[in-house]
Structure 1
Amino acid sequence: MKNKIFIVEDDPNIRDIVSAYLKKEGYEISMVDNAEDAWELTRDSRPDMWILDIMLPGMDGYELCKKIRQESEVPIIIISAKDDEVDKILGLELGSDDYLTKPFSPRELVARVKRIFKRIDSSVTGGLEEEQELQLGDLVINTNDRRVFWQGKEVEVTAKEFDLLTILISNQNRAFAREELLSLIWGEDYFGSDRAVDDLIKRLRKKLEDLPIETVWGYGYRMRSKTEEVK
């Protein structure tokens, strides 16, 4: 079955070029030029990924990203002419999985799309050996179908949130540098700020209250094997 991608972009040239490249790779594409129509599309069909422009007429891409995240953890890639770090961080804080600044290479976008889908389809994260279930206290991760359970209840997480959890729980008490986590989760060719890692941690702490992730000041993070050791 083809993966379905919704493209929300008001520039017809960018929309058509991106669509052509993605269709060539076998993806099913739906295109709209505004967020309101994009949201209406979800009444009849749910995409496997969103590609959103930020500067849209009417509702902007940030607001659409928020609406999507209220109902789904489907991957979101933001494409925008805004290249300030604050804009990238805002996009990540709202739950996007990646942020690409215009102008960009269509091949680079395709590579990022493939990487996200590959990460979702694979039960191996960061070169770790395949395991069916990982557990730490109240946290249970099923790596085969990428499901996360906290205190007996399933929690919806994004692809990158899942990857980070899997890396940390598989290496309990080991401190990871932010740069190392950035490379493992986003790929070695990612040149964004390591604040993206801080944002992932922030989102996980909000979703999984009392999760035993410890901040290693000036360095990175580690998952403690005992909750009482968390600072």
Structure 2
Amino acid sequence: MNCVCIIDDDKELCALMKKCMEQEDLQVITAHSGVDGLFFMEKQKQKAPLSLIVLDVMLPDLDGFQVLQKIRERDNTPVLMLTAKDGEDDKVTGLSLGADDYLTKPFSIKELMARVHSLIRRYTTLNPGFPIEADCITLKDMVIDKTNRMVFVHQLPVELTGKEFELLSFLASNKGQIFTKKQIYTQVWEDAYAFDDSNIMSFISKLRKKIEPDPEHPFYILTVRGVGYRFNREA
């Protein structure tokens, strides 16, 4: 379960945000000062990594900017900053210190939750070391996000066509299993096999150029001579 830490001295707002997030299956811890927030974050990290920190700028001890600096000394967990100020300088300061997004009070819960889910999705997808709960296939240097139909190699997005994504997803979902061209065509194209080997070979070639470190010596999609293809079980 993704865990969010909220640091805000407005106890009523904290309670409201906590309730809304928990209704959407997020685990939430709250703190009402910067010192307590840093303490609770460290305590939580001993159990499981945080997915997001919601941080108010105006706090009674350390301000949000000081807390953000200390967070960035330790990790890259995304930070959504909250402030009652709408001055450009505050936003520039927060972003320059490493904040990932900024929300000005008062805000709607709907907008808050949209930003929360967006930041968590980006962080968990782009961070191979994070335990991903979404429908993703995590490989050696690649993440295939089946839910959002996105592929990342070395944490960088790779642009694939619809069929290229479906082909990659199918093979990666069955690592080590050998498939003939007919089986691949039937599964991916969901059509009767038309003896169109050249079409499948062309798709494999284009896909390799986009995902393989060395397309001439593939690591992920391997050719089984005289039979078809398989996805490397060591990936």
TM range (shorter): 0.5 to 0.7
CA contact (8 A) 1:4 1:48 kept: yes
- In the aligned structure 2, how far is the partner of 1:99 from the partner of 1:9? 14
1:81–1:143: structure 2 CA closer, same or farther, 3 Å change rule? farther
In structure 2, relative to structure 1, the CA distance for the partners of 1:44 and 1:143 (3 Å cut) is: same
Which secondary structure state, in structure 1, belongs to the residue aligned with residue 80 of structure 2? strand
Structure 2 Cα separation of the partners of residues 29 and 143 of structure 1: 29
**Between Structure 1 and Structure 2, how many residues are aligned?**
137
How many percent identity over aligned positions?
A: 32
Tell me which residue corresponds to 2:92.
Answer: 89
- Tell me how far apart the structure 1 counterparts of residues 53 and 81 of structure 2 sit (CA, whole Å): 8
CA offset digits 1:17-53 (Å, max 9, x no partner) = 1111111111001111000011111332122211000
- Residue by residue over 1:122-154, the C-alpha shift from the partner in whole angstroms, topping out at 9 and shown as x without a partner, is 46xxxxxxxx89xxxxxxxx4529xxxxxxxxx
Displacement of 1:82 in angstroms is 1.4
Q: Give the structure with higher Rg (CA).
A: 2
Partner Cα separation in structure 2 for residue 42 and residue 11 of structure 1: 18
TM-score where L is the length of structure 1 = 0.54
The corresponding residue for 2:107 is: 104
Distance 2:5 2:27 in 1: 9
TM-score, L = length of structure 2: 0.53
In 2, Cα distance between equivalents of 1:64 and 1:101:
18
C-alpha separation between the residues in 2 aligned to 1:112 and 1:143? 25
Match of 1:80 among 57, 63, 83: 83
Amino acid at match of 1:111: A
In the alignment, structure 2 segments of 5+ residues that lack a partner are 127-138, 145-151, 160-235
Contact 1:21–1:107 (Cα < 8 Å) also in 2: no
CA distance in 2, matches of 1:91, 1:43: 22
Q: Is 1:30 paired with 2:35?
A: no
Q: How many angstroms apart in 2 are the aligned matches of 1:119 and 1:60?
A: 26
Unaligned runs of 5+ in 1: 124-131, 134-141, 146-161, 172-231
**Structure 1 segment 1-231 matched on structure 2, within 5 A:** 2-46=1-45, 47-122=50-125, 142-144=141-143, 166=156
Q: Confirm or deny: 8 A CA contact 2:4 2:26 kept in the other structure.
A: yes
Instruction: Give the distance between the partners of 1:20 and 1:89, measured in 2 at CA.
Output: 30
Contact 2:52 2:119 in 1 (8 A): no
Shift of 1:101: 0.2
Q: How far apart, CA to CA, are the structure 1 residues paired with 2:78 and 2:59?
A: 19
In 2, the alpha carbon distance for the partners of 1:115 and 1:143 equals 20
Give me the CA root mean square deviation: 2.7
Change (3 A) 1:100 1:52: same
